[in-house]
């Protein structure tokens, strides 16, 4: 009984700390890699593999766009500022089936797009020494953040453990 209570308590605390209440989840597609949401509104930034038949385009491997839920879920391209300074993905082919990437907002955090003929394209990232296949990111913005002066408090990375495949959530405190 004590073990059950401990498990339930940990699960409950995790749910409170790491959940985004009432946020829409974008419809899953065959080429979906991951998406990003933030605390200022429900709009979502989506990253899909840019497929050319059975292969990913090496010149433009990521199709990035936003879902504007404040406009009835309209799908729109990133605007120039979003693409160049925040949500745009910078890519570099480093091996035949491996692309290194980072968001325009920061070159410090590296993402890796991997693919093979046996598996669909996936992105992995290492956060707090935990390597995970990424499904989504949630950015908690600091109080007073505006669209021109955005400061993150922390980022939650949700996905599957790289080795075990179990669901994981890693929290990265932004300094």
**For the chain, how many structural domains are there in total?**
1
pLDDT for the residue 139: 94
pTM of the model: 0.85
- Closest by Cα among 105, 104, 100, 113 to 34: 113
Residue 18 domain flag: no
Residue 10 domain flag: no
CA separation for the pair 34, 155 (Å, rounded): 14
Query: What residue numbers bound the domain in which 106 lies?
Result: 29-173
CA separation for the pair 157, 171 (Å, rounded): 6
Query: pLDDT tens across 42-75, in order?
Result: 899 999 999 888 888 988 999 999 999 989 999 9
pLDDT average, residue stretch 27-32: 91
- For residue 37, the number of C-alpha atoms closer than 13 Å in the C-beta half-sphere is 21
Residue 11 domain flag: no
Residue 17 domain flag: no
Residue 82 domain flag: yes
Is 161 a residue whose pLDDT tops 70?
yes
Residue 22 domain flag: no
Residue 4 domain flag: no
Place of tokens 């693409």: 83
Query: pLDDT tens across 70-128, in order?
Result: 899 999 999 999 999 999 999 999 998 899 999 999 999 999 999 877 788 999 999 99
Residue 55 domain flag: yes
* Residue 13: pLDDT band with limits 50, 70, 90: very low
């Amino acid at each position: 009984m004590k073990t059950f209570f401990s498990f339930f308590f940990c699960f409950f605390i995790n749910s409170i700390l790491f959940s985004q209440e009432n946020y829409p989840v974008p419809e899953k597609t065959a080429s979906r890699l991951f998406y990003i949401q933030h605390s200022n509104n429900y709009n979502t930034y989506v990253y899909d593999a840019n497929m050319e038949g059975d292969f990913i385009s090496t010149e433009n491997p990521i199709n990035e766009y936003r879902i504007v839920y404040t406009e009835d879920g309209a799908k729109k391209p990133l605007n120039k500022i979003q693409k160049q300074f925040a949500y745009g993905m910078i890519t570099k082919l480093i091996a035949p089936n491996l692309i290194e990437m980072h968001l325009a907002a920061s070159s410090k955090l590296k993402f890796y797009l991997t693919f093979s003929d046996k598996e669909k394209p996936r992105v992995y990232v290492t956060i707090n020494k935990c390597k995970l296949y990424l499904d989504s990111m949630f950015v908690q913005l600091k109080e007073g953040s505006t669209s021109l002066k955005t400061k993150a408090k922390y980022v939650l990375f949700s996905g599957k453990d790289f080795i075990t495949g179990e669901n994981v959530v890693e929290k990265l405190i932004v300094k």
